[in-house]
Amino acid sequence: MNVLKAAIVGLALISANTPVRADVIADWNNTAMDVMKAVNVTGNPWTRSMALVNVSMSDAVNSVQNRYSRYMPELPSDPSASAEAAAATAAREILMRQYPGQKERIDAAFAETMKAVPDNPARVAGIDLGEKVAGAIYAERQSDATNMPDTYRPLTTPGVWVPTTPPLFPQYATAKPWGMESASQFRPAPPPALNSALYARDYNETREMGGLKSTKRTDAQSDAVRFWTQANLAPSWFQAATQASARHGLSVPESARVFALMSMALANCYVVDWDAKFQYNFWRPITAIRNGDQDGNDATERDAGWQPLNTTPMHPEYPSQAGINAGAARGVLEAVFGSGTQGVIATDASDARLSRKFDSFAQMAREHEEVRIWGGIHFRNSLEAGDAMGRKVADHLVANYIKPAR
């Protein structure tokens, strides 16, 4: 099968499983992802930007239609404005403030949206409203401490080598989350003691399943590991939200709510998780397994040359980022769409020929988490603790933000 034919077949499969309805919210989520892909923004800053875009769009839409409560209720409202124009303008304004070098791409997306919005006073009012809402949201988040200088101090003793690549975004450990009291609000209990049976269980599972030369990991599991790279972790959940929103025929305010809640939840994951990670500073499997004879546990055999299938991320192991992301995204989507069958096709951000098909958000979340064991970069308890944290973040936001106004 040639590349063109494969692409056509892939699109047909997606269309058959997820009837797509054009939607200003989904369109601008795609634009935001394209913009950040062009400038290579990933991880913590990626989720922050997506939250800024989606909260701004949700507040802009509800400043017109008042279907759901707003993140900033004191913002101006204008029932005469175009909700579509307000949402698109809010997204454009946020993206332009963060990525001015992508002006041509952003302006082209805005012009495309405006083709479907009548050129009348409602559009003018919507543009004005969207600019005001985005400006207020952007200003409010300038004090979230995510841009503080990196002052992480490696802990060591004089003369002892430590890894010389700094950890990724350590300042997020003390950043301000969206709609929560503090980064430590859902901090989990410490990781299991090194001499415990639970730690031995997790150690041996990851050593056997996650090693570069593992004979127990299947080819299918290895394929899943290779799909769930950093580039696909959060974007795949936005694909799931887009497909579910289209399938259920959500209105613009309903769609804006879904994306705003999920964006806030995922952005919070990188704050509450970093708080816990740098609180406990727990070692990664590659360090633990190569030092298995020094952990005080007779059930953990040292493997001196062990290497994981995945490259180990540059931040502490516990709790798992994949676990908390999956728990948070699944929690929001199930709160809106239910926990039953929800067909999802997650497509690779770099190669549209590669995809994963799931029958439910729960199934997608499980694979999202399991690959971190199969890839050798996490222990199971870390995934379980992360998933529980993510569900708490989702439950808190759904219960307290963007609630039905009437």
DSSP annotation string for 30-49: HHHHHHHHHTT--HHHHHHH
Mean per-residue pLDDT, 40-47: 95
Paired tokens of 72: 């900033």
Give the whole-angstrom CA distance, residue 324 versus residue 321. Answer: 5
- Cα distances (Å, whole numbers) of residue 347 to 7, 239, 342, 356: 11, 8, 16, 7
Share of the chain above pLDDT 90, in %: 86
Residue 164: predicted pLDDT: 75
- Is pLDDT at 134 greater than 50 in this prediction? yes
Contact in structure between 318 and 282 (CB atoms under 8 Å): yes
Mean per-residue pLDDT, 99-117: 97
- Is pLDDT at 12 greater than 70 in this prediction? no
- Which tens digits make up the pLDDT trace of 199-224? 999 999 999 999 999 999 999 999 99
CA-nearest of 303, 332, 253, 283 to 57 is: 253
Computed over every residue of the chain, the mean pLDDT equals 92
| 355-361, Cβ contacts within 8 angstroms, sequence gap of 24 or more | 355/10, 356/224, 356/227, 356/236, 357/17, 361/240, 361/329, 361/330, 361/333, 361/334, 361/337
- Is pLDDT at 14 greater than 50 in this prediction? no
Query: How sure is the predictor about 19, in pLDDT bands with cuts at 50, 70 and 90?
Result: very low
> Coil, helix or strand for 130?
helix
Query: How sure is the predictor about 258, in pLDDT bands with cuts at 50, 70 and 90?
Result: very high
Residue 406: predicted pLDDT: 67
DSSP conformation letters of 173-184 = GGPPPSSSS-TT
Higher-confidence residue: 12 or 75? 75
- Is pLDDT at 361 greater than 50 in this prediction? yes
How many helices (DSSP H) and strands (DSSP E) are in the chain?
14, 2
Give the whole-angstrom CA distance, residue 368 versus residue 396. Answer: 22
Query: How sure is the predictor about 6, in pLDDT bands with cuts at 50, 70 and 90?
Result: very low
Q: Which helix (H) or strand (E) holds 254?
A: helix 252-280
> Coil, helix or strand for 193?
coil
Mean per-residue pLDDT, 351-369: 95
- Is pLDDT at 358 greater than 50 in this prediction? yes
- Which tens digits make up the pLDDT trace of 168-191? 999 999 999 999 999 999 999 999
Overall residue count recorded for the chain in this entry: 406
Paired tokens of 224: 């899943």
Give the whole-angstrom CA distance, residue 281 versus residue 288. Answer: 13
Query: Which residue, chain included where needed, has tokens 């405006």?
Result: 114
Give the whole-angstrom CA distance, residue 133 versus residue 124. Answer: 14
Q: What is the dihedral of CA 40, 282, 384, 341, to 10 degrees?
A: 10
Dihedral class, residue 148 (left if φ above 0, else alpha if ψ from -120 to 50, else beta): beta
Residue 350: predicted pLDDT: 86
Residue 2: predicted pLDDT: 40
Query: How sure is the predictor about 10, in pLDDT bands with cuts at 50, 70 and 90?
Result: very low
Cβ partners under 8 Å of residue 335, min gap 6: 261, 394, 395, 398
- Is pLDDT at 246 greater than 50 in this prediction? yes
Residue 161: predicted pLDDT: 78
Share of the chain above pLDDT 70, in %: 94
Contact in structure between 231 and 350 (CB atoms under 8 Å): yes
Mean per-residue pLDDT, 325-334: 98
- Cα distances (Å, whole numbers) of residue 211 to 127, 208, 256, 298, 318: 54, 6, 42, 20, 19
Contact in structure between 368 and 328 (CB atoms under 8 Å): no
Query: How sure is the predictor about 163, in pLDDT bands with cuts at 50, 70 and 90?
Result: confident
Residue 88: predicted pLDDT: 98
Query: How sure is the predictor about 22, in pLDDT bands with cuts at 50, 70 and 90?
Result: low
